[in-house]
Structures are given as structure tokens and as C-alpha cells.
């Protein structure tokens, strides 16, 4: 996520506003200190203008957004 923000010249505030979450959630997600819900992860590409695949090791699911 950090790499994509840098490539697109985005600040931390811009994805926060597009995703509809707090800056602290974005920061924790980037640092790996956040276990986001699939619903939250589905909003992330909207804030970054990218697609996303998410593998849930515990539930054996692979989600694409």
C-alpha cells in the first residue's frame, strides 16, 4: 500500500478520505498491526485506484476486488 501511494503521489489523507476510515487505520494496515475485515479490504482499492487480492489463510478464501 505504501509503494502504491508513493507511485501515485498520494498522501495518507487521500486514501483515508476515499476509503472512509481514520488515518490511524491506514497506518496500522500499512505497518501490519491491523487485522482488517474483508469489507474493509474491499474498500482499499477504491482509495488507491487499484485492484486487490486477499488470501485468508485461516479460512482458505481468496478474494478479488
6 Cα distance to chain centroid: 14
Kindly list the averaged pLDDT for each block of 10 residues, start to end, along the chain of length 65: 80 81 86 84 76 63 53
* pLDDT for res 51: 60
What is the number of domains present in the chain? 1
Tell me what pLDDT residue 47 has.
77
DSSP letter, residue 11: -
pTM of the model: 0.59
Domain that holds residue 14: 2-64
pLDDT at 15: 80
| pLDDT value for 57 | 65
- Are 27 and 1 in contact by the 8 Å Cβ rule? The answer is no
Report the CATH number at residue 30. Answer: 1.10.260.40
Amino acid at each position: 500500500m505504501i509503494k502504491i501511494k508513493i507511485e501515485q503521489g498520494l498522501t495518507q489523507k487521500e486514501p483515508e478520505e476515499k476509503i472512509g476510515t481514520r488515518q490511524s487505520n491506514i497506518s496500522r494496515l500499512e505497518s501490519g498491526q491491523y487485522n482488517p475485515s474483508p469489507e474493509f479490504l474491499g474498500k482499499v482499492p477504491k482509495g488507491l485506484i487499484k485492484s486487490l487480492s486477499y488470501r485468508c489463510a485461516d479460512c482458505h478464501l481468496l478474494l478479488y476486488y
